[in-house]
Amino acid sequence: MLTSKLYVVNSIDLISSIQRLPKVLAFPPIEAKFAMTICASSKEGNEIIANNLNGEDGDWGYSHDLYTSMHAALAPGSGLDGMNRMMIQNIAHSLNGLKPPGGQVMEINLGEWSRHEITMATTNSVYGRCNPFKDPKVEKAFWEFENGLIMILINQLPSLTARKAGRARDRVADAFRTYFEAKHHEYGSMLVQHRYNTSIQNKVSVDDIARFEVGGSLAVLVNTAPAVFWMLFYLYSNPLVLEECRTEVGSLVLDTKESNGTRKTIDITSVKQNCPTLTSAFQEVLRQRTLGAQVRQVMQDTMLDGKYLLKKDATIIMPSLVIHTDPAVWGSNVSQFDHKRFAKGNKSQSQKPNPKALRAFGGGTTLCPGRHFATTEILATVVMFILRYNLTPLDGTWTPPKTEKTNIASVVMEPDTDIRVKVEPRETTADCEWDFKLGDSDMVFGVAAEDRHD
């Protein structure tokens, strides 16, 4: 791969053309090499992955079956709703812990808090009551593995250069092996059940299933926490934007008078349907703070759009950051945080955004299957914060941290340094009880162009 020809594509139209050719401009070979390297799967496991990897002989094989089963589990419906409800209960419980007794003031490191609480809420939702991440040693090992991922991928004398990360990965894999051997996945989400059953049907060993699950955990964990961090940063550092979002979300809160006070209830599903300012701000955060790149391998000489000859075995890279910062796509205010940029009917926006230009979740046949769960988790966490708490940086200034150390597996930029904040209950809601719910819904929030029907 390092010696192959490289094509960098920044044109939205050309990216669309590439996405229409998933067999000849393929992602599965890239994904398989990534998984084999980071998971340290066995020779037998690698052979199972490689069998009909790109669907040359039809729609079958481990790669195809696993992707299909994951999409089914993460599509809007009962399976996704179950994960979302568990996640919301976990996040609500975490936010209750930010309200200390006796009128005391709580202080937290915003990034550290987001990472831990999102990790636990997500993994509890996926893995159920026997979640391996409930062991603090497993959680710590996972993030040690994530931090050393680049050295594992370089794969040069990994026993020396990636020893710490490799050992951390093995500790997480051991925990997953115990989890699957004890059949604990049977009490987990539809997602983990589908992944396990598909693997067994394709004759993958439990040891390799556990190792591949470490890679699966990367997919569900590494981007949500920094996205929550940046959403909170942009809202609380812009008081007018924060107030607009609070007013919009607050209009959906139902008050019930009880003997001991007021109970406030909000359905998170209604937020996605009725809060255009908040959801636009979310999309603008993704535009500002994502840097991932979609990668493809050229399987045969291909003429793209009748103009560009792509040679076999070359690599195509489509960097999101270039498109997300292109004035020709977003207008002269491309460098500004415009929280209404994606809101329908925004008359102040001189240039209507092209839905295909927001590449945070990828696109085409490799569109992130977990985007619906991630979107709900991020919005739910932010809604709970802005309704219940004020956040103030201890140094008095919301200064955006640098992101130069962002890990190679991350799509959302990770802050290099944390922000210490003071957390205070809002006076208007300090004495209220809160219920955060999720109604049944098969409605899709169109954060990706492929989800939109307008």
CB contact at 8 A, 412 and 227 = yes
Q: Label each residue of 328-369 as H, E or C.
A: HHHCCCCCCCCCCCCCCCCCCCCCCCCHHHCCCCCCHHHCCC
3-class SS shares of the chain: helix, strand, coil, % to 5: 55, 10, 35
Give me the pLDDT at residue 429, please: 84
SS (H, E, C) 130-156: HCHHHCHHHHHHHHHHHHCHHHHHHCC
**Which strands make up the sheet holding 261-267, listed edge to edge?**
254-258, 261-267, 433-437
Buried-exposed string 117-151: b where 16+ CB fall within 10 A, e elsewhere: bbbbbbbbbbbbeebbbeeeebbebbbbbbebbeb
Q: What is the CA radius of gyration of the chain?
A: 22
In three-state secondary structure terms, 412 is strand
Q: Which amino acid is at 123?
A: T
Per-residue tokens: 431: 């004495």
Q: Contact at 8 Å (CB) between 222 and 409?
A: yes
Phi, psi angles (nearest 5°) of residue 157: 50, 55
- Please tell me whether residue 424 adopts helix, strand or coil conformation: strand
User: Which residues lie across from 254 on neighbouring strands?
Assistant: 265
Can you state the angle between helices 78-96 and 62-74, rounded to 10 degrees?
60
pLDDT of residue 1: 44
Strands 315-319 and 389-393: unpaired
- Token pair, residue 196, equals 């396990």
Pairing of strands 389-393, 106-109: unpaired
Whole-angstrom distance, CA of residue 390 vs CA of residue 387: 9
Sign of torsion, CA 271 272 273 279? positive
User: Residue 235 belongs to what H/E stretch?
Assistant: helix 224-236
59 exposure class (CB count in 10 Å sphere: 0-12, 13-18, 19+): exposed
What confidence score (pLDDT) does residue 59 get?
93
CA pair distance 230, 222, nearest whole angstrom: 14
**pLDDT the model gives residue 180:** 98
Sort strands 106-109 and 420-425 into parallel, antiparallel or unpaired. antiparallel
Please give the Cα distance from 163 to 35 (Å, whole number): 18
Q: Provide the β-strand partners of residue 435.
A: 265
Query: What residues does 41 pair with on adjacent strands?
Result: none
Return the pLDDT at 349. 66
Residue in the structure block whose two tokens are 């964990």: 221
Q: What DSSP string describes 158-225? A: HHHHTHHHHHHHHHHHHHHHHHHHTTGGGGS-HHHHHHHHHHHHTT--HHHHHHHHHHHHHHHHTTHH
Q: Could you give the dihedral angle defined by the CA atoms of residues 403, 407, 413 and 415, in that order, rounded to the nearest 10 degrees?
A: -50
15 residue type, one letter:
I
pLDDT of the chain along its 454 residues, tens only? 445 799 999 999 999 999 999 999 999 999 999 999 999 999 999 999 999 999 999 999 999 999 999 999 999 999 999 999 999 999 999 999 998 777 678 999 999 999 999 999 999 999 999 999 999 999 999 999 999 999 999 988 888 899 999 999 999 999 999 999 999 999 999 999 999 999 999 999 999 999 999 999 999 999 999 999 999 999 999 999 999 999 999 999 999 998 888 899 999 999 988 999 999 999 999 999 999 899 999 999 999 999 999 999 999 999 999 999 999 999 999 999 999 999 987 766 667 888 899 999 988 888 899 999 999 999 999 999 999 999 999 999 999 999 999 988 899 999 999 999 999 999 888 788 999 999 876 666 667 767 765 5
**Global pTM value:** 0.95
Residue with tokens 């920094």: 226
Q: CB–CB of 370/76 below 8 Å?
A: no
Three-state helix/strand/coil letters over 158-173: HHHHCHHHHHHHHHHH
Residues 35 and 215 sit within 8 Å (Cβ to Cβ): yes
Per the DSSP assignment, residues forming a β-bridge with 256 are: 263
Q: Residue 450 has what DSSP assignment?
A: G
